[in-house]
Amino acid sequence: MGRCAVAAIGRPVLPLVAAGLSLAACPVGAGQAARPEAGGAVRVSVGGAVALEYVRIGVPFKPYVRELRTPAGLNLLRDNVADHLHHHGLMFAVRAGDVNFWEETPGCGTQRSDRLRVTGSGVVDSLSWRAPGASRPLLLETRRIQVERATAPDAVLVTWQTTLALPQGAPAPVTLSGAHYHGLGMRFLQAMDGGAFETDGGDTGTVFRGEERLMTGRWCAYRADLSGRPVTVAMFDHPANPRPATWFTMPRPFAYLAATLRLHETALALRSGKRLDLRYGVAACDGRLNRAQLDKLCRVWLARAGRGR
């Protein structure tokens, strides 16, 4: 099963905390030595190999997962590409009020990482979402990213949990909205363009425009080739989410997958004293997983993520 470890790179963080993981996850081992890296990052290792890299230093608009690797060590994510400079690996953003936190142009909002805590299996990041020039945050986010190893099928399994709330004393509700692709999004490597998407129900999706489709189901998987080797990446929805996931999928002109709340059709109002809790799973796998394997992996993730926060 191997060992899991977390290394902090850049800004000092709290000491590592060892904790056991259940099901098909590996136990947590000793932390790796911190080492400098341009831009700063937190690296999470599984079985002695880097599985995920989270960046929150030196990013002007939003912290994100820069690398997500399969058990064989293949990174699946592309970052900061010329055609869409705001596409950063695995990232989360929506529009809040009249502030766009997705794009990264003048007038867009920023997600500021105010405090990071490193745990034995990932990170907990406290962020403030701020409008340009604002002295007070518009939203507060607690972001939890946990990494573990699943077996049979073999996968690096990530849980992304976001809790959004208004700052204390906020005078009015904040409306969450956005484009049909806003949410938890993944930009894949160029070599993976042109693959195929599938959901657990075999939904072929509703054509939005071009090759963009909106699909439904408990999970959505993308199968592609990377350096001549087949890979599968999947995203899982949690039944406790306020709305079932609508999957934004696009294999060309570049491959992209996002878990969305369909905010382009119906916005969500976040009120003082309330919070919005979201939980999604992401699996990085070597080979082409079939539907039965993906169903099993989804059940494994749900059993883990279902224990709450």
Instruction: Give the DSSP per-residue string, 13-56.
Output: -PPP------TTPPPB-PPPPP---TT-EEEEEETTEEEEEEE-
- Average model confidence (pLDDT) across the chain: 84
Rounded distance between C-alpha atoms, residue 246 and residue 178, angstroms: 13
CB 143 within 8 A of CB 113: no
Residue 206's pLDDT is 85
Rounded distance between C-alpha atoms, residue 193 and residue 188, angstroms: 7
Residue 292's pLDDT is 96
Check residues 287 and 27 and name the one with the higher pLDDT: 287
Q: Which two tokens stand for residue 43?
A: 């690296």
Among 18-22, 103-107, 166-170, the least confident range = 18-22
Q: For residue 54, give the nearest of 25, 81, 12, 88 by alpha carbon.
A: 88
- Average pLDDT of the residues in 114-140: 92
Rounded distance between C-alpha atoms, residue 193 and residue 262, angstroms: 24
Q: What's the DSSP call for residue 82?
A: T
On the question of pLDDT at 103 being above 70, the answer is: yes
Confidence of residue 86 (pLDDT cuts 50, 70, 90): low
Residue 37's pLDDT is 41
On the question of pLDDT at 298 being above 60, the answer is: yes
Confidence of residue 84 (pLDDT cuts 50, 70, 90): low
Residue 266's pLDDT is 96
Residue 150's pLDDT is 94
CA 181: distance to chain centroid?
A: 14
Architecture of domain 74-305: Distorted Sandwich (2.70)
Check residues 22 and 77 and name the one with the higher pLDDT: 77
- Average pLDDT of the residues in 277-297: 97
Q: For residue 150, give the nearest of 51, 23, 235, 43 by alpha carbon.
A: 23
Rounded distance between C-alpha atoms, residue 62 and residue 86, angstroms: 9
* pLDDT tens readout for residues 180-225: 999 999 999 999 999 999 999 877 778 888 889 999 999 999 999 9
Confidence of residue 307 (pLDDT cuts 50, 70, 90): low
